[in-house]
Amino acid sequence: MIVLGIETSCDETAVAVIKDGRQALSSKVFSQIFKHKQWGGVIPEVASRMHLETINRLIHDALAEAQITIKDITAIAVTQGPGLVGSLMVGFNVAKTLAWIHQKPLIPVNHLYGHVCANFLETDLEPPFLCMLASGGHTQVIAMPDFTNMQIMGETVDDAAGEAFDKVARLMDLAYPGGPHLDKLAQTASDTGSYRFPVPKVGDYNFSFSGLKTAVLRLKEKISAEQWENDKAQIAKAFQECIAKTLFEKVLLASQNTQLHSIVLAGGVAANSAIRARFREEFTPENGFNLIVPSLKYCTDNAAMIASAGYFLYKYGSHSHVPADPNTLQQEVYARAS
Ligand code: KG4
Ligand code: ZN
DSSP lists the bridge partners of residue 14 as 7, 29
| 168 pLDDT above the threshold of 90 | yes
Specify the CATH number for 127-294; select among 3.40.50.880, 2.60.120.1440, 3.30.420.40, 3.30.390.30: 3.30.420.40
pLDDT of residue 317: 78
Which pLDDT belongs to residue 318?
61
Rounded percentage of the chain residues whose pLDDT exceeds 70:
94
- In short, whether 159's Cβ falls inside 6 Å of ligand 1 is no
Question: Could you tell me if the CB of 83 is within 6 A of ligand 1?
Answer: no
Rounded to an integer, the average pLDDT of 252-269 is: 97
Answer yes or no: is pLDDT of 327 > 60.
Answer: no
Report the atom number in ligand 1 closest to the C-alpha of 267.
Answer: 1
The residues of the chain that CATH labels 3.30.420.40 are 2-117+299-337, 127-294
CA–centroid distance, residue 303 to ligand 1 (Å): 16
Q: Atom of ligand 1 at shortest distance to CA of 9?
A: 6
DSSP string, 45-86: HHHHHHHHHHHHHHHHHHHHHHT--GGG-SEEEEEEESS-HH
pLDDT in tens, 264-274: 999 999 999 99
Q: What is the pLDDT of residues 30-83, one digit of tens each?
A: 999 999 999 999 999 999 999 999 999 999 999 999 999 999 999 999 999 999
Mean pLDDT of 156-175: 96
Cβ of 310 closer than 6 Å to ligand 1, yes or no, is no
Q: What pairs with residue 265 in β-bridges?
A: 132
Q: Is 301 in the pocket of ligand 1 (CB under 6 A)?
A: yes
Question: How close are the terminal C-alpha atoms of the chain, in Å?
Answer: 31
Output the CA 300–ligand 1 centroid distance in Å.
6
Mean pLDDT, range 304-311, rounded to an integer: 98
Q: Is the pLDDT of residue 306 over 50?
A: yes
Q: Say whether pLDDT at 331 is over 60.
A: no
Residue 178 Cβ inside 6 Å of ligand 1? The answer reads yes
Residue 107 CA: distances (Å) to CA of 25, 178, 223, 309: 19, 33, 53, 9
Q: Is 114 in the pocket of ligand 1 (CB under 6 A)?
A: no
**pLDDT for residue 338:** 41
Could you read off the pLDDT of 137-149 as tens digits, one per residue? 999 999 999 999 9
Alpha helices in 109-224 (DSSP H): 111-117, 161-171, 178-186, 210-222
The pLDDT value recorded for residue 264 is: 98
- Ligand nearest to the backbone CA of 299: 1
Tens of pLDDT, residues 171-224? 999 999 999 999 999 999 999 999 999 988 888 899 999 999 999 999 999 999
Q: Which of 165, 176, 273 to mutate to test the pocket of ligand 1 (most atoms within 8 A of CB)?
A: 165
Superfamily name with CATH number, domain 2-117+299-337? ATPase, nucleotide binding domain (3.30.420.40)
Look at residue 94 and tell me whether its pLDDT is greater than 60: yes
CB 106 within 8 A of CB 96: yes
Task: Give the Å distance between the CA of 182 and the centre of ligand 1.
Answer: 11
Predicted model pTM: 0.94
Is 137 a pocket residue for ligand 1 (Cβ < 6 Å)? yes
104 to 98, 101, 221, 322: CA distances (angstroms):
8, 8, 58, 6
Question: Is the confidence at residue 321, as pLDDT, over 50?
Answer: no
Residue among 87, 99, 80, 25 nearest 55 (CA): 87
Strand order in the sheet with 23-31: 23-31, 12-19, 2-7, 75-81, 106-110
Q: Whose CA is nearest to atom 13 of ligand 1?
A: 179
